[in-house]
Amino acid sequence: MKTMITGVRPTGSITLANYIGGIKGFVEQQYKYNSLIFIADIHGLTTYIDPKEIRNNILDITAMYMACGIDINNTALFMQSDVLEHCNLGFLMSFQCSVGELSRMTQFKSKKQQLGKNEKDMGLFIYPTLMAADILLYDAEIVPVGADQRQHIEKTRDFGERFNNIYGNTFKLPEYQIPKIGAKIMNLQDPTIKMSKSAPKDDKGTIFMLDDIEITRKKIMSACTDSDGKVYYDEENKPGISNLISLICVVNNITIEEANEKYKDYNYKDFKIEVADSVCNFIKEIQDKFYQYRNDEKYLKEILTNGANKARVYASKKMKFVKEKVGLSI
Ligand code: AMP
């Protein structure tokens, strides 16, 4: 059976885009694979975050994963930092790459621009080596992610392949699995930038899964569109409307073609009402489940402990094998 893995960093509050890019595809396929889903907490520390906030976010994400349908009888749900082999292998992965190639990574370049001149950027710089370890450690072949992670998965393959070429066959190489609809959900106010959970809490363009439902409705109703007045999908010329179409398709499980046909005679206001109704119903259902899980921290911690115990079985075996390969076992 093949292995599937994905993760979310516990920075900021989960957005609808995170659900679409990483969680939805995972939940739908979790029984087809040996499945692991983790909270990328070490990645979350690459830029400073208040310890109280990250602790709270970790529990939020655990409850959110559960509310979205992760079945812990089938899937290992755990914190990255609970399985020390991630860091061990991450360090070894850094020997498989050059400073030049890491400095050319799109995410590093864009995040570095957002940092002040003298801010610490080493964590961001070596992010791809830890991410490669997160995946290779479990021989994961399927990685459901949003389009923004494509380059990181390609690098993971490169590092794994280089290692295999030097030390002999050690790692399976992963494939990314990017959703057909919603690979890159855009900010509702500025559909030229992606929706991101690092946006401020009151950002009108970002749908946070835990936002008050009426706030979500307002955000959708005030989404940026265009002056054409016609509802159909055209990412290049109608990014705002296309983004809303992606959202309604995902939450109602319909295709872009079906949405084009169904909403072709709608004006923008009526179409937005449809999007808002669908998205709000969808999120409300998840929120109800979320709060049930979130109120029981003891259970959430138990889930993470059990998940880490399960993940550690693979990880320790793999790390032992890696150490043998490189000559660190005597
Ligand atoms: P992060 O927010 O970087 O922890 O990402 C967690 C998951 O959400 C990854 O699979 C990302 O690719 C996905 N993701 C983040 N932002 C978006 C977006 N705007 N559209 C689609 N997927 C996204």
264 noted as active-site residue:
no
- Statement to judge: residues 233 and 94 lie in one domain: no
Ligand 1 center to 146 CA (angstroms)? 5
Same domain assignment for residues 191 and 171: no
> Ligand 1: does its nearest atom lie under 6 Å from the Cβ of 43?
no
The CATH number of whichever domain residue 13 belongs to comes to 3.40.50.620
Active site residue 111: yes
26-50 mean pLDDT: 96
* Amino acid 113: pLDDT: 85
pLDDT tier at 111 (50, 70, 90 boundaries)? Answer: confident
Residue 310 shares a structural domain with residue 285: no
pLDDT digits (tens, 9 = 90+) for 285-324: 999 999 999 999 999 999 999 999 999 999 999 999 999 9
Q: What is the pLDDT of residue 112?
A: 87
CA of 143 to the centre of ligand 1 (A): 12
Quick one: pLDDT band at residue 99, thresholds 50, 70, 90? very high
Q: What pLDDT does residue 189 have?
A: 97
What is the rounded CA–CA span in Å between residue 235 and residue 57?
A: 33
Tell me the CA–centroid distance for residue 183 and ligand 1, in Å.
Answer: 9
Ligand 1 atom nearest to 22, measured from its CA: 10
pLDDT band for position 155 (cuts 50, 70, 90): very high
Q: Could you tell me if 266 and 190 lie in one domain?
A: yes
Domains in the chain: how many in total? 2
Instruction: Indicate if 134 and 148 belong to the same structural domain.
Output: yes
Do 235 and 103 reside in the same domain of the chain?
Answer: no
Are both 303 and 291 inside the same structural domain? no
Mutate to test the pocket of ligand 1, among 18, 135, 235 (most ligand atoms within 8 A of CB): 18
Atom of ligand 1 nearest to the CA of 7: 6
**C-beta of 259 in contact with ligand 1 (< 6 A):** no
pLDDT (average), residues 144-166: 97
Q: What is the CATH number of the domain that holds 195?
A: 1.10.240.10
State the pLDDT at residue 116. 76
Q: Is the CB of 5 under 6 A from ligand 1?
A: no
Q: Would the pLDDT of 63 be above 80?
A: yes
Using 50, 70 and 90 to split pLDDT, how confident is the model at 115?
A: confident
- Cα–Cα dist 45/41, whole Å: 7
In short, whether 16's Cβ falls inside 6 Å of ligand 1 is: no
Average pLDDT of the chain to the nearest whole number: 96
Burial class (CB in 10 A: 0-12, 13-18, 19+), 104: exposed
Q: Which long-range contacts (CB under 8 A, 24 or more apart) does 154-163 make?
A: 155/97, 155/101, 155/105, 155/128, 155/131, 156/128, 156/131, 156/132, 158/96, 158/97, 159/93, 159/96, 159/97, 159/128, 159/129, 159/132, 160/132, 160/136, 162/96, 162/97, 163/92, 163/93, 163/96, 163/136
Ligand 1 pocket mutation, candidates 148, 176, 194, criterion most atoms within 8 A of CB: 148
- Answer yes or no: is the C-beta of 86 below 6 A from any ligand 1 atom: no
Confidence of residue 40 (pLDDT cuts 50, 70, 90): very high
Q: Are both 78 and 209 inside the same structural domain?
A: no
Task: Find out whether the beta carbon of 37 lies less than 6 Å from any atom of ligand 1.
Answer: no
Examine the domain organization and report whether 225 and 246 are in the same domain. Answer: yes
Q: What pLDDT is recorded for position 254?
A: 97
pLDDT in tens, 228-243: 999 999 999 999 999 9
Of 194, 272, 318, 325, catalytic: 194
pLDDT given at position 47: 86
17 lines ligand 1 (CB under 6 A): yes
The verdict on 291 and 301 lying in the same domain is no
Quick check: CB of 20 below 6 Å from ligand 1? yes
pLDDT in the model for residue 298: 98
Predicted local confidence at residue 12, as pLDDT: 87
pLDDT tens digits for 183-224?
Answer: 999 999 999 999 999 899 899 999 999 999 999 999 999 999
**In sequence order, which residues have a C-beta less than 8 Å from that of residue 309 and are 6 or more positions away?**
none
In this structure, which residue's CA is closest to atom 8 in ligand 1?
18
Task: Please tell me whether residues 254 and 302 are part of one structural domain.
Answer: no
Residue 98 structural domain: 3-179+297-326
208 shares a domain with 150: no
What mean pLDDT comes out for the span 30-42?
Answer: 98
Ligand 1 close to Cβ of residue 184 (< 6 A): yes
**Is there a catalytic annotation at residue 194?**
yes
* Angle formed by the axes of helices 127-136 and 85-93, nearest 10°: 120
